[in-house]
Amino acid sequence: MKKIRGHHLFCMTLFSGHGYDAAFTNAMKNTIFSLQGGESILLCSGEDEICQSCPNQRQAGGCALGTEDALQRDEAAFAELQLQEGELSGWMEISERRLLITKDALEHVCGGCCWKEQGICSWELWQKRAENRNLEFQ
């Protein structure tokens, strides 16, 4: 079972091989492979499996890019996917719930994020990915 925070359900969907460093990128790929392979997901807010491999994770806790900002994205992600912190889920269920996401919903979760502002994450990519259960990263 992997602990995954709300907004990382979006980050995994839009992951295209970019990351903060090589360790982070590898952890992201390995996490996605494990979940696609059937490992279950414990939904959380705050630090998760992916944060543990991120250079922005502070040793004292929190995110160097904005702890509150990341928590607000978790909350928005759960609201838009109609999920709740503490629930158990899985890749197939998340894949189905991706179809709930509209352009405005994506903006609610991702608005202001540097990856979206750089064009790496986008509504166009979301539309391509939303219907694919097995994501291709490149």
Residues binding ligand SF4 (CB under 6 A): 7, 10-11, 14, 50-51, 54, 56-57, 63, 65, 70, 73, 109-110, 113, 115-116, 121
- The contacts of residue 94 (CB under 8 Å, 6+ apart) are 9, 41, 81
Kindly tell me which of 89 and 121 has the beta carbon lying closer to ligand SF4: 121
Smallest gap from Cβ 90 to ligand SF4, in A, equals 20
Between 48 and 89, whose beta carbon lies closer to ligand SF4?
A: 48
Q: 118 by DSSP, 3-state: which?
A: coil
Residue 57's SS3 state is: strand
Q: Nearest Cα to 41, choosing from 95, 108, 113?
A: 95
Residue (89 or 105) nearer to ligand SF4, CB: 105
Residues 116/15/52/110 CA torsion (nearest 10 deg)? 30
Q: In this complex, which beta carbon is closest to ligand SF4, that of residue 89 or of residue 116?
A: 116
* Smallest distance, ligand SF4 to C-beta of residue 24, A: 7
